[in-house]
C-alpha cells in the first residue's frame, strides 16, 4: 500500500486523537473536582483553601489553556523590546489592556496555525493526495489560520478607534460643562465616564482607566500620555498633549477643552463633507455596471428589434 492510500486513515486518526485529548481535558477536570469535593467532605477545613486567587478557581479548558499559553507563544514571542512594546500598543488599541494579552494572542495564533494546517492538509491530501496541490493546501491552510487573529485585531482596532473619534467631541463638551461647574479634571472625567457609559462605552472605559491610575498615585502627565498612546487616536493624543501643557503652565483647563472640542467637531464636519463630495465619484461604477446596461436595453432595444425586422423583410 502506498502513502496516498494510507494518508486518509492517518488524518482520521490524528483528528480522532485531537478530539479525544479535548474530551479528556474536560473529563480529567471533572474527576479532579469530584475528588476535591470528596476531600472537602472528609475535611471541612479544605473548603476555603486555595480560593483566594482567580487562577485556582479556573477549571476545564480555560485552565489548561492558560497553562499552555506561555509554551505555545514562546516560539512567536518578539525578540526585541521594541517589538514587544509595539504588540502591546496594538492590542491596547484594540481594547485588550490585560498584561497577559500578548501571550494569549500569540498562543491563539499558534493554535489557529496548527488548526489551519490540519484542516488544509486534510482537505488537500484527501482530494489530491501527496501531490503539489495537497502540500499547497496544507501551507495555505496554515498561513490563513496564522493570520486570522491578526485580521481580527486589525478590525477591532479600526472599529474602536472610529468609535472613539466620533464620540470624543460629545464627551469633551460634557467634560467642559463639568469643569466650568466647579469640578476638577479628575472628578469631571469620573462624571463623564458615569454619564456616557451607554452611549460611548469606549471613551468611558479609557477615562475610567485613567481615573483608576490617578487614584493609585500615578502622575497626571504620565497617565494622560499613556491615554493617547493606548487609544491610538490622533485627536486623543492632541487632547492629552493640551491637558499636559495646561497642567504644566497653569492655564485654564476649561478653555483648553473647549478649543479642542471645537476643533474636533470642525474636523468631524469636514470629514463628513469630504465623504459627501466623494459620493459622485463612487457612484460612477455602480451606474456604469448596473444601471446603465438596463437603461441602454430599454432605450436601444426597441430600435434594434425594428432594425432587425426591417433587415429580415428585405
- pLDDT tens-digit readout, 198-212: 888 888 888 888 888
Verdict on whether the full-model pTM lies above 0.85: no
Residue 263 included in any domain? yes
pLDDT in tens, 231-242: 888 888 888 888
Q: Which residue has the higher pLDDT, 137 or 55?
A: 137
Residue 302 included in any domain? no
Q: If you average pLDDT over every residue of the chain, what do you get?
A: 78
For residues 76-92, give the mean pLDDT. Answer: 84
Q: What is the dihedral of CA 35, 36, 41, 47, to 10 degrees?
A: 180
Residue 105 included in any domain? no
pLDDT of 115 strictly over 60: yes
pLDDT of 23 strictly over 60: no
Question: pLDDT at position 30, please?
Answer: 45
Distance CA 113, CA 157 (A): 22
Residue 99 included in any domain? no
Question: pLDDT at position 65, please?
Answer: 60
Asked if residue 224 lies in contact with residue 244, where contact means CB atoms within 8 angstroms, the answer is: yes
CA-closest candidate to residue 189, choices 131, 134, 240: 240
Residue 83 included in any domain? no
pLDDT of 195 strictly over 60: yes
For residues 287-302, give the mean pLDDT. Answer: 83
pLDDT tier at 52, thresholds 50, 70, 90: very low
Strand extents, DSSP E, 117-216:
none
Question: pLDDT at position 128, please?
Answer: 76
Question: pLDDT at position 51, please?
Answer: 47
Residue 171: alpha-carbon gap to chain centroid: 23
The DSSP code for 312 is H
Distance CA 204, CA 194 (A): 7
Residue 171 included in any domain? yes
Angle at which helix 185-195 crosses helix 132-180, to 10 degrees, equals: 120
Question: pLDDT at position 39, please?
Answer: 65
pLDDT of 40 strictly over 70: no
pLDDT of 5 strictly over 80: no
Neighbours of 191 (CB within 10 A): 18
In degrees, rounded to 5, the angle at the alpha carbon of residue 189 between the alpha carbons of residues 185 and 195 is: 140
pLDDT of 104 strictly over 80: yes
Residue 307 included in any domain? no
For residues 283-308, give the mean pLDDT. Answer: 83
Query: Can you give the length of the chain in residues?
Result: 314
Residue 244 included in any domain? yes
Distance CA 305, CA 314 (A): 14
Number of domains in the chain: 1
Q: Identify the domain containing residue 191 by its residue range.
A: 162-268
For residues 266-281, give the mean pLDDT. Answer: 86
Return the C-alpha cell found at 259.
478649543
Q: Which residue has the higher pLDDT, 65 or 283?
A: 283
Question: pLDDT at position 12, please?
Answer: 64
Question: pLDDT at position 57, please?
Answer: 45
pLDDT tier at 28, thresholds 50, 70, 90: very low
Distance CA 44, CA 67 (A): 29
- The share of the chain scoring above pLDDT 70, in percent, equals 77
* Greatest mean pLDDT among 23-37, 70-84, 215-229: 215-229
Question: pLDDT at position 63, please?
Answer: 62
pLDDT of 189 strictly over 70: yes
Amino acid at each position: 500500500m502506498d502513502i496516498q492510500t494510507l494518508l486518509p486513515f492517518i488524518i482520521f486518526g490524528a483528528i480522532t486523537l485531537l478530539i479525544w485529548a479535548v474530551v479528556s481535558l474536560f473529563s480529567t477536570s471533572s474527576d479532579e473536582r469530584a475528588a476535591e469535593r470528596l476531600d472537602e467532605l472528609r475535611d471541612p477545613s479544605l473548603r476555603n483553601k486555595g480560593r483566594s486567587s482567580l487562577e485556582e478557581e479556573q477549571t476545564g479548558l480555560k485552565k489548561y489553556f492558560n497553562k499552555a499559553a506561555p509554551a505555545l507563544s514562546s516560539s512567536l514571542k518578539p525578540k526585541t523590546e521594541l517589538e514587544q512594546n509595539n504588540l502591546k500598543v496594538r492590542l491596547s488599541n484594540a481594547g485588550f489592556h490585560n498584561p497577559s494579552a500578548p501571550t494569549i494572542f500569540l498562543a491563539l495564533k499558534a493554535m489557529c496555525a496548527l488548526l489551519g494546517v490540519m484542516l488544509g492538509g486534510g482537505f488537500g491530501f484527501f482530494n489530491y493526495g501527496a501531490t503539489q496541490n495537497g502540500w499547497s493546501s496544507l501551507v495555505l491552510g496554515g498561513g490563513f489560520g496564522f493570520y486570522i487573529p491578526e485580521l481580527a485585531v486589525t478590525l477591532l482596532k479600526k472599529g474602536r478607534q472610529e468609535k472613539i473619534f466620533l464620540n470624543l467631541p460629545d464627551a469633551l463638551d460634557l467634560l467642559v460643562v463639568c469643569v466650568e461647574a466647579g469640578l476638577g479634571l479628575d472628578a469631571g472625567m469620573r462624571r463623564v465616564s458615569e454619564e456616557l457609559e451607554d452611549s460611548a462605552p469606549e471613551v468611558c472605559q479609557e477615562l475610567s482607566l485613567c481615573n483608576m491610575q490617578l487614584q493609585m498615585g500615578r502622575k497626571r502627565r504620565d497617565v494622560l500620555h499613556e491615554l493617547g498612546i493606548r487609544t491610538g487616536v490622533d485627536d486623543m493624543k492632541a487632547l492629552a498633549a493640551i491637558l499636559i501643557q495646561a497642567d504644566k503652565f497653569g492655564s485654564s483647563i476649561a478653555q483648553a477643552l473647549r478649543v479642542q472640542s471645537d476643533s474636533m467637531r470642525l474636523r468631524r464636519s469636514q470629514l463628513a463633507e469630504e465623504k459627501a463630495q466623494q459620493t459622485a465619484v463612487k457612484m460612477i461604477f455602480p451606474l456604469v455596471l448596473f444601471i446603465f446596461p438596463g437603461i441602454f436595453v430599454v432605450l436601444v432595444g426597441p430600435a434594434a428589434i425594428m432594425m432587425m425586422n426591417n433587415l429580415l423583410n428585405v
